[in-house]
Structure 1
């Protein structure tokens, strides 16, 4: 399996998936759930057949929590309970047609230094 940095945009996509998951989880439970970040990371990596070293997974997960907790609001992004379903597709991938996901992706590309 390729490393995440071998696939263009994969790091930003993983980060955005984690940010969306964390924001959705918070909207539903009012808790910042680290276990959701860990499990969502595993799901994304398995689905996309990509590898990431364990320490880098932790860094990406921590960055996702930081973005969800602090940066979304500053970027004018609010995820409410009613928004959660629109963030994801039927197979729980990111819904790239969602304007909220598009805004999240811009933040994540900026955070990873990935060009659009």
Structure 2
């Protein structure tokens, strides 16, 4: 029978604790950096249908009517690649040229976000 010391058994537990704390810190930093606009958007429950209408009116010229890309990238399963906050910032800041900045009120952005997460 092999007997392990408490130090040997504690190392994996300590490693998991450190990884968890790092993840918590990253989330806290991201949330702390939210603007009032972003916090407001995230507080709304968006409407997918209204978001689709907004997408068709504002985004489909570049991303295609089914969001499969054209001038802009394919947005299918974009929720797997970008967080809600990253999507909000991409839309409102136009972070990757030639993406323009869009000025949507908080409810409109919540609706668009709901649609983007549904595709």
TM-score, L = length of structure 2? 0.31
Higher helix share: 1
Larger Rg: 2
